[in-house]
Structure 1
Amino acid sequence: MRSSTRPSLRRVDAAIAAADASAAQRQPPICPLCGRLIPAEAKSSRHHLVPRLKGGTHKGTVRLHQICHSAIHARFSEAELARHLHDIEALRSDPEIASFIAWVAGKPPSFHAPTRMTKARRDARKER
C-alpha cells in the first residue's frame, strides 16, 4: 500500500485527458483567446494562467489552440505573464495579442503554423 494519499502526476494527467476526451465528445471547446472552436483534430494545449515557474502549478489552466499558446510564449516572458497577463482578458487586451487574434480569426479552426520569436525579441531577452 502506498504511504502517500496524493495522486501521482501520471494519474492526474490521465484524469485530465479523460475529462478532456469526454468533453470533446459532447461539443468542441472554444479557445478563450481567439474565440474559435477547437476541433478534436486541431493541435491544442493547456496554458497555465500563472506560469508554473512563478507558482502557478495549481492556479488554473485553459485549453488553447497550440498556435494561440505559442503566440503568447513567443511574445512574453514568464515574469511578464505572471506579473501582468495572468488572465485571458489581459492577454486579449494586449496590442500584440489583439493583432494576432485579428489575423488568426480568419483561419480555419484546425489551422496551425510554426510560431517563432523574432530575432529582435530574442536579442532583447538575452540583454536582460
Structure 2
Amino acid sequence: MSRRHERRAARQERPTAAPAEEAPCPLCLRPIPPGARASRHHLVPRLKGGTHQGTVLLHHICHQAIHARFTEAELARDLTDPSALRSEPRMAGFLAWVAGKPPDFHAPTRAARDRTPKWR
C-alpha cells in the first residue's frame, strides 16, 4: 500500500467525537443544530493569505451576510475575528433581525446596498 493510501485509510479510521451540545455561531451566538445549513468562514480571506489560518463554523446565512457587506480587503485588514464583526455597525441590523429567528432558519441574502466597489 502506498503512503498516500495509508494516510487516507488512517484518516478514515479515526473516531469522530460526537458533539456534547450544539456549538453556538460565533457571529449571531445562536446554536447551530445538527442538520442546519452551516459553512466555514476563513478569519483571514484565502485571497488575502488566510488559507492556513483559522476558520470558524457559522450559520450559512451569517456567512452570507458577512460577504454581502464587506470586501475581502476589509475582512483581512480589520475584521479577522467574530467579535470585530459583531461590533461592526454594518452588521448590527442583520444581527438584531436574525436574533429572533430559529437556529435552523435560512433565507437568501441580498448584497448590501452600501457595499460599493472603491474603484467607482
For 1:89, give the aligned amino acid: S
Q: Do residues 95 (structure 1) and 101 (structure 2) align?
A: no
Q: Which residue of 1 aligns with 2:50?
A: 56
Q: Which residue of 2 aligns with 1:127?
A: 119
Matches within 5 A, 1:1-128: 1-2=2-3, 22-24=17-19, 26-118=20-112, 121=115, 124-125=116-117, 127-128=119-120
Using structure 1 for the length normalisation, give the TM-score.
0.77
Q: Aligned partners of 2:102, 2:93: CA distance in 1, in Å? A: 17
Q: Give the greater-gyration-radius structure (CA).
A: 2
Tell me how large the CA RMSD over aligned residues is: 2.6
Q: Aligned partners of 2:99, 2:50: CA distance in 1, in Å? A: 29
Q: Give 3-state SS (helix, strand or coil) of 2:117's partner.
A: helix
Q: Aligned partners of 2:71, 2:114: CA distance in 1, in Å? A: 14
Q: Aligned partners of 2:18, 2:90: CA distance in 1, in Å? A: 31
What's the % identity of the aligned pairs? 61
For 1:127, give the aligned amino acid: W
How many pairs are equivalent?
A: 115
